[in-house]
Structure 1
Amino acid sequence: MRVFLITIISLCLISCKKSNQIIISNNIKTFSQFPKESKIAFKNLVEFKLGNPRQIKVIDSTLILGNYASGQEYYLHNYSLSTGKFSIPYIRKGRDKNEIIGLATIGFSDNYLWLNDFTGKKMMLIDKDKVIKDSIINLAKISFNTNRNYRSILIDNLQIIATGNKKSKFKVQIIDLTTGNINEEFGELKFFSEGLPLDIINQATYSQTLIKPTKDKLVLAYTHTDIIEIFDLKTKKSISLHGPEKFDSTFKIFRNVWFENEKTRVAFIDGTATNKYIYLLYSGKNFSNENAYKGNYLFVYDWDMNPIKKVKLDIEVYQICITNDDKTIYSYDENTKHIVYADIN
């Protein structure tokens, strides 16, 4: 496997009428092949017929299922790996207190389960122990004011890290929990077309955003190009990796709005970060494919941005969840309506 350094250009975002260039990073490596390839065959764990859980998280011996299916009244379900039972569903869809309008992402940080309400421009926090014990009483609510973030992650009880802010020319924001204000921004998006609106730039560079459990590094895995970018959260500097297919994000602009075109592809659609590895679910399909946001490849990297291996899954899925010990992967088989699992070592 050859890896070499490119020090000047990066991501070319192409409009159907004109070329626009965004420099995603000044420090990019490329590669064409993973050093190791393997295959995984999933096994059925338990049937789940209440919708397709687009997100799955694991904490202790509990799976948290983020269910976005239409017609369902609640967003979240728990499944206990120790008892083999489901909890009652919780977090109602809606605009009232303790409800969420449009759930985007969920995750765990320290003692909290956090829920990013993209539509409602807020984050809600639930005590982790109460989630596991099915005894949710109160939820803490943090408003992002006028800021809508594509991805938001709880860092600690004081701060959130966010990406995909349509009003900012920076890729990453640190947001104060108490005020909802942006305290710090970094990872500037540099571009050469003065008339290109910020929201188009941000949409073209949407990413799956994952934080290392030690909270000293952040990875952005881009949705429409096979680039990953790792930030050192102490220095705020980053380095990027492009490959193995090395395709760019292409789009068209109509009335100052970003649209996919016939060449737009989908790269990374979900992921999990452990202290050892970054696991990314990869599609690679053209946007026009009806299964563009499903993937059957797992790309694995370490935190020094070395490609480790490519794993072929035996089914296409929307989501992945890896245990913190890097031993087990969970997902959902839409065809059989089962939560599935497999060993990954």
Structure 2
Amino acid sequence: MKPEGNSINKLWILSFVFSDATQLINQELMKRIPYKLLFFLSFVCLFSCKNRINSPITHFSSFQTERIEHSTLFNLEKYDILKPLEVIKDREEHIFIDDKRDNFITKVNFQSNQFISGVNFGSGPQELNLIGSIKKIKDKILIYDITKKEIFELTMVNEKSLTIQSFHKINNYPQKLFSVNYINNNIIASGLFGDFWIGYIDFLNNELLSAIDFPEFEETNAIQDMQKSIIYLSTHITCSPNNKKIAVATKNAGVISLINIKDDQLDLYKQIKYYPPNFSVTNDGTIAYSKKGEIGFCSIDCDAQHIYLLYSGRTFETHGMLNHHCEHLLIYDWKGNPVKHYILDIPLFSMKFDNEKNTIYGIGYNPEGVFVEYNISSY
């Protein structure tokens, strides 16, 4: 069973699932950005084309590349998980998001084969409507609901059912947030900001502290700011363990940004621009993605030394709905230097890094949904 297009409307867990959201939000477009002077554009284009590395795989061509086989594989149907989209580890258990059943959150212990489920899709109490992110923060599993504009904590009732309780409401913040990450009392998020890409928001007062501008490409210079927000909505964010740095990667373009956090301000210190988004703008202003456009990064995670990225490079034209299944794991240091390129024997749909075991784990389809883990201790 492979992910179907209609499942995209339910979850935003790895921002890869948000291409269909563009039709819902194009009405919020703002005024067009004026063109740069022709000679200036020509100079920038000439310079950037000469120096740009147009593919992450090319960037790693002179570094170590290793094909590896999975170290662990669990079929998930035995746990009544039918179409998994995301998994996150919680101590000795794993929490799965399933797009094909009621009680769509399931906690599994692979050692005992015990599992419990709970939480339905919907707009009522004890229901989630549209998930933007699921994160483990210390001993809590926090889930952000885009529609409700509220963060929930995953809890358990008598060890028989999973449930949720409100953790924090952000419905007073004017813009809609999509992927939410937590740093102390603040939030790092992508969203429909309109005039910037990444926002650093006071968690308690819902106040914008700092922001990062959109990546600059000639291909996006002439479009409106809200159209840029739509293109870069599919953004993945990870925070370093000491909460002093973040790494950001895009799905609809080949961009990685490394950012320092100091005194409640974001400072972009490194940006790698492999290739721009491949799109057109229809007569009504809607963003239409090309079937020939390469999917970029589908997941990101990190530790104190390295950044782990799941890279696709596939197109809809060549792979159809399998274009989000990634066989490339790319490892960078926090300076943005390539470290190691792994080619995975089972492509992953989503990914996390396990610092205790020095493995990556995630969702694969082989051909049904499976939990897959890789040992990456050799780099």
In the superposition, the TM-score normalised over structure 1's length comes to 0.80
* Residue in 2 that maps onto 1:211: 239
Number of aligned residue pairs: give it. 316
* Residue in 1 that maps onto 2:91: 60
Q: Distance in 2 between matches of 1:223 and 1:330?
A: 19
* Residue in 1 that maps onto 2:371: 339
Q: Cα distance, 1:123 vs. partner?
A: 2.0
> 1:171 is matched by which residue type in structure 2?
W
User: Structure 1, unaligned stretches of length 5 or more?
Assistant: 1-18
Partner SS for 2:228: helix
* Residue in 2 that maps onto 1:272: 301
Change (3 A) 1:81 1:324: farther
* Residue in 1 that maps onto 2:170: 143
Which is further off, 327-336 or 216-225? 327-336
> 1:42 is matched by which residue type in structure 2?
H
Change (3 A) 1:231 1:190: closer
Q: Distance in 2 between matches of 1:132 and 1:232?
A: 41
Change (3 A) 1:297 1:185: same
Bigger helix share: 2
Which is further off, 305-314 or 29-38? 29-38
Partner SS for 1:201: helix
Q: Distance in 1 between matches of 2:226 and 2:95?
A: 32
Deviations 1:266-316 (A, max 9, x none): 110112222222111111012443111111111111112211111100122
Contact persistence 1:121–1:147 (CA under 8 A)? no
Q: Cα distance, 1:232 vs. partner?
A: 0.2
Instruction: Please give the residue correspondences for 1:142-221 in structure 2 after superposition, counting only pairs within 5 Å.
Output: 142-145=169-172, 146-156=174-184, 158-163=185-190, 165-179=191-205, 181-189=206-214, 196-205=223-232, 206-221=234-249
Q: Cα distance, 1:43 vs. partner?
A: 4.4
Q: Cα distance, 1:173 vs. partner?
A: 1.6
Which consecutive segments of 4 or more residues in structure 1 shift more than 6 A? 19-23, 129-135, 190-195
* Residue in 1 that maps onto 2:10: none
Q: Distance in 2 between matches of 1:219 and 1:212?
A: 8
Partner SS for 1:97: coil
Partner SS for 2:165: coil
Q: Distance in 2 between matches of 1:267 and 1:228?
A: 10
1:292 aligns with 2:323: yes
> 2:309 is matched by which residue type in structure 1?
L
Partner SS for 2:275: coil
* Residue in 2 that maps onto 1:3: none
Partner SS for 1:138: strand
Which is further off, 116-125 or 312-321? 116-125
* Residue in 1 that maps onto 2:108: 79
In the superposition, the TM-score normalised over structure 2's length comes to 0.73
Instruction: Please give the residue correspondences for 1:284-323 in structure 2 after superposition, counting only pairs within 5 Å.
Output: 284-288=313-317, 289-290=319-320, 291-323=322-354
Change (3 A) 1:167 1:316: same
Q: Distance in 2 between matches of 1:20 and 1:85?
A: 60
Q: Cα distance, 1:150 vs. partner?
A: 2.6
* Residue in 2 that maps onto 1:239: 269
Partner SS for 2:188: strand
Deviations 1:219-259 (A, max 9, x none): 1111122221010011521133437xx32212111111211
Q: Cα distance, 1:82 vs. partner?
A: 4.4
User: Structure 2, unaligned stretches of length 5 or more?
Assistant: 1-33
Q: Cα distance, 1:130 vs. partner?
A: 8.5
